[in-house]
Amino acid sequence: MNFFSSSSLFHFLLVLTICICCVNLVYTTPVKIGKGYRLIAIEESPDGGLIGHLKVKKKNNIYGPDIPYLQLYVKHETDNRLRIQITDAEKERWEVPYNLLPREKAPLLKQTIGVSRKNNPFPLGVSEYSGNELIFSFTTDPFGFSVKRKSNGQTLFNSSSDDSDPYNNLVFKDQYLEISTKLPKDASLYGLGENTQPHGIKIYPNDPYTLYTTDQSAINLNMDLYGSHPMYMDLRNLNGEGYAHAVLLLNSNGMDVFYRGNSLTYKVIGGILDFYFFAGPTPLAVVDQYTEFIGRPAPMPYWSLGFHQCRWGYHNLSVIEDVIANYKKAKIPLDVIWNDDDHMDGKKDFTLNPVNYPGPKLRAFLEKIHAEGMHYIVINDPGIGVNKSYGVYQRGIANDVFIKYQGKPFLAQVWPGAVHFPDFLNPKTVEWWGDEIRRFHELAPIDGLWIDMNEVSNFCTGLCTIPEGRICPNGTGPGWICCLDCKNVTNTKWDDPPYKINASGIQAPIGYKTIATSATHYNGVREYDAHSLYGFSETIATHKGLQALEGKRPFILSRATFVGSGHYAAHWTGDNKGTWEDLRYSISTVLNFGIFGVPMVGSDICGFYPAPTEELCNRWIEVGAFYPFSRDHANYYSPRQELYQWKSVAESARNALGMRYKLLPYFYTLTYEAHTTGAPIARPLFFSFPNIPKLYELSTQFLIGSSVMVSPVLEQGKTEVKALFPPGTWYSLFDMTQAIVTKEPHYLTLDAPLHVVNVHLYQNAIIPMQHGGMLTKEARMTPFTIVVAFPLGASEGEAKGKLFLDEDELPEMKLGNGQSTYIDFYAKTSNGTVKIWSEVQESKYAIEKGWSIEKVTVLGLDRIGGAFEILVDGTEVTDTSNVQFTSEEHKYIDKLEEGDDKRKSMMVDIQGLELPVGKNFVMSWKMGISP
């Protein structure tokens, strides 16, 4: 929940006034800062890496004095990961805490400070330090380094600068760090978020990229939003082959990143330079390597893949019950109902409104929907209301859990009024938070938590006190107007640093509408350094608290994110508008978060505000039904927009969500793949086709997994869509007799009337499907259909797929626990024979559940079936009297823009099967005559 402030004009004028005094506006001509550093010593470190020392060449005071001596640490941590760290050689500096993001520690300064600054065992000039996949090279004076790919010598990163470059050599000051890399103009970059990118998923030259967690709604383009992910993926095409790598700057301080098309410059206001390079070379391999480092994505409960409904403004429990009843009446699937702050007593965390959401009635309601298989999630904001009669606040004060300013809990204002913010870097706070979750769960047995406003958001700015003689807030007007008595805090270098990042797109002070950056956390950590970690640290504490309740797999939805957040939580793209533009923007943000290691992501379907048009809501559910996280959510001040509010939208929802629920086993298997390899659920097309440059900018279509492509309508008034099809055969999932065959990537115009979304399955894939239903609980117990897609009309072909099943609320999503089963599916057609088989790991769970395969659908055969044989666990099934073969000829799309030979081909259905999912089967038949 957030707001779209009616005070936007006031905000703009206030910050514009501040900006007039700023000397380093984003687009001013850059001024050269210093002459960089000189490498004065380098040797092998005890752990097999390199340790070097750098000395500043020419001191200056632009943005503060230079740090005179730096330590360089380089290590090939794995075959495909290289770390390059640069920090102060004589004093420890702020780093992302190792307990939040576990990783190898660099050698301590005291172990390296004695390294001779006179003797350099490496020859002057260029030296190299080679790993299996990457090569680190350096020059000594001025110091610069490059990272190259060993296999082809391609330079991935080059920090050297000459006089003609619009950027500096290395700059390292207390509150200003600058480093750059040259880039080829044909490099395609992705990442550097969170922001709303109007040009699509590919990073666009000269757009601003500022990383600093901010309560700025997603309607704001090219602006620092809720998350900070200082990583980018770089995809280049070399001689027709795509090569991808990624670069992470692990730093939580605010930063601007300038991409000019042929270079990229970081300007960071604190911390250290701690780079990690991931060699790839495929996009999928990059995300695998990246999530291996930052933490694999969290396992998700099966029910979370169902459809979710939320609204800020469900005033009482009867409204919630009415919403559920209307979804049932409209026959639209619904798994999870949400409450924004309406359930709370005075908007205070971990409370229930005694009138509108009385405890006994809410618990009876939850017992009823839980029995049906539905789930319930509520919002939770970090601000704890300052109220001496409020138990959560009392226990927080008693346990000393709040962020402080000059020794006292920092005072801010959010929805309850005056609040303090818990300090999640403090172990005592984590314990207290978990206990509050436990207490609330006893009051209302929720199924997950939605943690919002955790950038952290504050309706006020500066140092505030509670006013005397007036009520704050007074219950009238917008709840987001600051009513505390506040004064600006700008007299410290932390609140007013020398370099002004482009915060909120207007160089707003970094403490604007958040915690004063001179406030302190546990062990004296400054908010200045830890600001962008707030939501991440809260997510970790929430995950720990939820998992401790019943040992179940937690579901957490967090607005603020950082590197590693996907290891604990899902994300939604925040407050968007009900516009066609926002519908388009949502795809790029969802795809970006898959690259960031947060695969469970979605956007508010139909928009958070204002009222969407009926047509837009039709089209949005056709996209949103295929977001990994699929939720309709609306603003308090907007009209109702549940999917049943319009008959036409209800029809589109039944169609699109009907397909989603049939694909649930495929989606769930993808969550397992994400959890074990980091693979995004929703992916850009170049993930499966990295060698096709035409796909590198495509942001209007996306893949689910490697083989299901969604090509939605994203423009008003359109009843067809121009979709780009990579080479091969694509089958419509809504009508599998429809086939598209192309030898080269090109656009096809597809019919797309109001209730139709085009979803296609690629050749060489096998996907598991079920019947669907109104709830994931019932859908997942229906019989399976296995869909096998061969290239159209191929006499020789292969296909493969997989299926993961488990007791979906276990804390871990893994094999070996006795409550999970994994199946690989294979298919081959050759020499007039079709063979389809499965290889099962840990069959016990699936057999106990009684799951069975009732139908196999084979696409693309050049002949129909003949003699048929089935073996289950090596034993032939002799009674196949119930098995039926039916076939239907594939149809070509009429509006094919490039011709093909249009040879005949068949879809074959094998029905009446009763194959246990948990047992190995082999199915084969001789094909009859060609049709």
Token pair 């879809």 is found at 907
Tell me if residue 531 falls in helix, strand or coil.
helix
Sheet containing strand 375-380, strands side by side: 601-602, 570-572, 556-558, 449-451, 375-380, 336-339, 307-309, 630-632, 604-605
215 has catalytic annotation: no
Q: How far is CA 793 from CA 776, 859, 904, 912, 927, in A?
A: 36, 9, 7, 25, 13
Cis peptide before 610 (omega within 30 of 0): yes
DSSP state of 522: G
- Please count the other Cβ atoms lying within 10 Å of the Cβ belonging to residue 816: 9
Q: Which of 436, 538, 575, 642 is catalytic?
A: 575
Extract the tokens encoding 885. Answer: 């073969």
- The 3-class secondary structure across 629-680, one letter per residue, is CEEECCCCCCCCCCHHHCHHHHHHHHHHHHHHHHCHHHHHHHHHHHHHHCCC
Q: Minimal CA–CA distance to 506: which of 208, 63, 203?
A: 208
Extract the tokens encoding 785. Answer: 């259909």
Token pair 């915060």 is found at 503
Q: Which of 342, 455, 673, 862 is catalytic?
A: 455
Sheet containing strand 273-278, strands side by side: 37-44, 50-56, 69-78, 81-88, 273-278, 241-249, 229-238, 188-193
Q: Measure the CA–CA gap between 228 and 598, rounded to whole angstroms.
A: 12
Extract the tokens encoding 269. Answer: 């206001």
Query: What angle separates helix 580-595 from helix 614-624, to the nearest 10 degrees?
Result: 10
Q: Minimal CA–CA distance to 157: which of 142, 135, 178, 140?
A: 135
Q: Which of 178, 224, 256, 452 is catalytic?
A: 452
113-136: b or e for each residue (b if 16 or more CB lie within 10 Å)?
eebeeeebebeeeebebebebbbb
Q: Minimal CA–CA distance to 681: which of 761, 601, 624, 619?
A: 601
Is 633 within 8 Å of 267 (Cβ atoms)?
no
Q: Minimal CA–CA distance to 706: which of 854, 598, 594, 792?
A: 594
Q: Measure the CA–CA gap between 876 and 887, rounded to whole angstroms.
A: 24
Q: Measure the CA–CA gap between 767 and 238, rounded to whole angstroms.
A: 32
Task: State the Cα angle at 739 between 738 and 745, rounded to 5°.
Answer: 145
DSSP state of 306: S
Longest dimension (CA), the chain: 92
Q: DSSP string of 574-606?
A: -S-BSSHHHHHHHHHHHHHHHHTT--SEE-EET
| Rg of the chain in Å (alpha carbons) | 29
452 has catalytic annotation: yes
Q: Which helix (H) or strand (E) holds 777?
A: helix 776-779
194 has catalytic annotation: no
Which amino acids are annotated catalytic? 452, 455, 575
